A and B are shown apart, each in its own frame.
Chain A
């Protein structure tokens, strides 16, 4: 996941390679991974120039397809790669293919053409018509972002059948390049909210840490100004600091719970400050096993939601009891997050251990909520 998302690589290679287009015939021998990607990007640029599309960020484009096949169709019909029989044999039946990821308009437009991806169909419909079949379901799997092992399999299927000038490329680099392309359909680390500009804000982080020493709570309550200790009510010292504004529960076993921070780093800093306070009071406090236990986020979709409708269609996940609570409690399975959805459009997400879970949960719920936008 450390590699850059796909579109960022295009501008750099474009500047370098464009003057020498069309690419030299592949009699030179099959290019290395670098050059393969160059061809790929060149094809993308060319297609986008043709269609007048936005810069070719085609995260679903499958590099497994023998791209040379596409390139020649556009401009060089007489290149040796024209009729690559191996491509056709891999295009089997599409009954097992899951097209549910595609938006409705694409599948309807291209019913006669086997569909690969949103972007590709638009790009390829002009350049592909003479070609009989587009690549196999396995490449559509690439578009869905499946694991690279299946990609490398299909890739090895196609390449050995190529013309003799083509050396079978080593599998590993190809699977790397394939995996690069297949990254983007998965949930990104940063919240690139494609559907909307709304990003959930974190409101509360609960974390625990082990100070690894027995503590004398009475002494702590006596010597610390910001501590309160009422053993009859609760068996822990409640300590507060101003920056970051948090509260900690410190138990005599040495375990501590820190709540109220607005980000993971703030929570960690606050927990360290509490540990420092305990240290200064004379205890041999350490800082072991810091763990974020819960994260709470909230956001506003800014339109009213018909909760009665939502509970009817998503009954297995939702619980809506207006006699008890005005909001709908939605228990999402993947990721395992509980959402409180209110009629005003405000959504509270809780139960996350990672920030990405909150973003992912909101990305999942937003299309569902949009479906209930109209009264």
Chain B
């Protein structure tokens, strides 16, 4: 009988349940060794599975585990099952929860925090196995606030001394893209909007990698970038039909929530692509804008390595020497452009001088220049003049006026509304 274990003598799995004088026994059919007598499940294993056992028959094992901890452990298992995680994740997450529960700060925490702790344990387990689960997803499932989640998460990572790897972007792209409902025609999705999953996945990956290289990913929430990349990938695979569709409509069609920053990420990504397009001679003459560049995304992605190198110069060296741009920037360009210069094209046709490869926050001019505070010569022991202190005190007349005003205000608020 499968699933019942092995015979300790001969190791065979052919175990047969037989009854001997009305007592059921598990017997190995190969060597005849009697393995167990009586019922195979015990109260101990029942309690281990957190099933209710009557008090008179309980082994007392679960009494060492408090009821709230039992509830938390059940929640961890349930969450793992809801997320359809592999079975090994469940045990790891349960172990983390138990480990956390040993600390008095966690035992004494509010129920809300214990709820969120369930999510934290599952998240840590997923991160360690490179399973792309976002904090937003867990918060939605637990009906928890991201602030509470964030503070509990940081606390538990510090408390348990864990090394939690970063969110795996590649896996997240695969999972997130697959959740877009665009791979089959349906009443809401017209035929021209349906796309092949593999093509879209690979192009989205390339766009996300491009965004990563050009500083659009560092420091930002990863999801909106992937949304923007998916949208661009989808549009570029059939631009003629899809250019008319907006990002919001796209997300609605695909049955995916549109994250708020996605539109600005989209603009940033388009700006990068436009800069790259400037480096290709046959695209430069077309004078592309943010809509027309979508048609050429395929070409741009194919040559993205060299285009990024030629379109952008290293921002680090240039931040200080912004004014000293050399006029003939011939040597910095890629293979396609050197030919241009040698052909002696007029100045206007030369590719634009490389832009700085910097994160968008560094490219924007500062809202206000923070003045360096003047070096103060305060010693801390100066004399404090009386007049300076007196400016902060109320005169007796002012005190009386203030008290009268306060009393009047209180009287006004305490009077009930006239019927």
Contact = CB atoms under 8 A, between A and B. Distances in A.
Nearest to B154: A319
Contact of A266 (B134, B316, B376, B389): B376
A311 B135 CA distance: 19
Given A265-B380, A266-B376, A343 B218 contact: yes
B320 A344 contact: no
Contact of A264 (B218, B372, B380, B394): B380
Contact of A343 (B134, B215, B373): B215
B163 A319 contact: no
The residue in A226, A303, A308, A319 that gathers the most chain B C-beta atoms within 10 A of its C-beta is: A303
B222 A222 contact: no
Interface string A226-260: 10000000000000010110000000000000000
Looking at chain A's contact residues, the main secondary structure is loop
B163 A323 contact: no
A343 B389 contact: no
Contact of B392 (A225, A244, A304, A342): A225
A1 interface: no
A342 B219 CA distance: 7
B417 interface: no
- In the complex, the 3 A-B pairs of residues with the closest C-beta atoms, listed nearest first: A268-B380, A265-B380, A326-B219
Contacts of B382: 269
Nearest to A305: B218
Interface stretch (B34-42, B106-114, B291-299, B353-361): B353-361
B389 A277 contact: yes
A222 B219 contact: no
A91 B151 CA distance: 56
Given A323-B221, A323-B222, A280 B319 contact: no
Interface in A275-310: 276-277, 280-281, 302-308
Contacts of B393: 223-225, 277, 280-281
A262 B316 contact: no
A322 B222 contact: yes
Contacts of B391: 225
Interface in B362-419: 362, 372-373, 376, 378-382, 384, 388-394, 398-399, 402-403
A317 to B, nearest CB: 11
Interface residues of B, number: 49
Given A322-B220, A322-B221, A374-B314, A302 B320 contact: yes
Given A265-B380, A280-B393, A304-B315, A222 B166 contact: no
Contacts of A268: 380-381
Contacts of A225: 391-394, 398
Given A280-B389, A373-B316, A375-B357, A222 B402 contact: yes
B409 to A, nearest CB: 14
Nearest to A325: B150
Contact of A273 (B222, B379, B389, B394): B389
Contacts of B135: 321, 323-324
Contact of A315 (B163, B357, B399): B163
A316 interface: yes
Nearest to A269: B380
A125 B253 CA distance: 75
Interface string B296-314: 0000000000000000001
A374 B316 contact: yes
B144 interface: no
A: contact size bracket: 35 or more
A223 B394 contact: yes
Contact of A222 (B154, B221, B403): B403
Contacts of B220: 322, 326
A304 B378 contact: no
Contacts of A312: 166
B136 interface: yes
A303 B384 contact: no
A320 interface: yes
A58 interface: no
A140 B375 CA distance: 40
A315 B388 CA distance: 52
B241 interface: no
A222 B399 contact: yes
Given A262-B376, A322-B217, 8 more contacts: A277-B389, A277-B392, A304-B316, A308-B218, A322-B221, A322-B222, A342-B361, A375-B357
Contacts of B248: none
A225 B389 CA distance: 11
Interface string A335-355: 000000011110000000000
A304 B215 contact: yes
A156 interface: no
A323 B136 contact: yes
Nearest to B222: A322
Contact of A316 (B163, B215, B217, B320): B163
A208 to B, nearest CB: 15
Nearest to B158: A319
B175 to A, nearest CB: 15
Nearest to B361: A344
A272 B390 CA distance: 14
Contacts of B316: 303-304, 373-374
A267 B380 CA distance: 7
Interface string B150-179: 100110010000010011000000000000
Nearest to A373: B316
B389 A322 contact: no
A339 to B, nearest CB: 15
Interface string A184-217: 0000000000000000010000000000000000
B373 A262 contact: yes
Interface string B131-148: 000111000000000100
Contacts of B319: 302-303
A36 B380 CA distance: 43
A127 interface: no
A59 interface: no
Given A343-B215, A373-B316, A323 B378 contact: no
B357 A273 contact: no
B46 interface: no
Given A322-B221, A324-B150, A226 B392 contact: yes
A285 to B, nearest CB: 12
A306 B146 CA distance: 25
Nearest to A311: B166
A322 B378 CA distance: 41
